[in-house]
Amino acid sequence: MVDLRTAIVLIALTAGALASWYLARPGHGDGDATPTFDTTQQGYYLKSARILGTGPNGDLLYELRAEDAEQKENDHVFFTNVLLQYSPQSSVPWRVNADSAVIRQDENRVLLSGNVRAISSEGFSGKDTELRTQYLEIDPENYLAETNERVQIRIGARSLTATGMLASLKDNRLELKSNVSGKFAP
């Protein structure tokens, strides 16, 4: 027979084991120390992002720098405080700044918005050139920049405004779509 003291110790140990199991089981209590993660959410988030775009032959074509980059569930990548510039090997002397940009996985375009400013010291007519608009789509592989929004263009001392523009950045050609007005200093 088991004496009373041994029986009390066995009961106390069994009760302690059951209590610790009950308290340690998943989902118990308000103070659950194990964080839960939504593993269905896809994407990434980067600070001080640097994205390198390559051409059809695999050579470096352009560089996009941004303060932040975030991939969303729809596979679009969103950037803030953006600088896009072509590689020196491409011989395209344009730098483009914008508040934000989007690159869609299914497109080869960079969609820039908010205070978009494109600058070249060898721009149109070989003079310092600045383009300003609120929205600009760039097709880096074909060196094209296009907008249907209002655009301000400064070429040397000349300035133009228009609604809509198509620019070939490699060839320094510019096509204004409508509502063109300008100021030409002698």
| Domain coordinates in residue numbering, the chain | 45-183
Q: pLDDT per residue over 136-184, tens digit each?
A: 999 999 999 999 999 999 988 889 999 999 999 888 888 989 988 887 6
Distance CA 38, CA 40 (A): 5
Q: Are 141 and 55 in contact (CB under 8 A)?
A: yes
Q: pLDDT per residue over 32-83, tens digit each?
A: 555 555 555 566 788 999 988 888 888 899 999 999 999 877 778 999 999 9
* Helix (H), strand (E) at residue 18: helix 4-24
Q: Angle at CA 51, nearest 5°, toward 50 and 57?
A: 140
DSSP 57: T
**Positive or negative: CA dihedral 87, 142, 135, 125:** positive
Looking at domain 45-183, its CATH superfamily turns out to be: Lipopolysaccharide (LPS) transport protein A like domain (2.60.450.10)
pLDDT, mean over the chain:
83
Percent of the chain whose pLDDT exceeds 70? 84
Q: Are 156 and 133 in contact (CB under 8 A)?
A: no
In one letter, which amino acid is 4? L
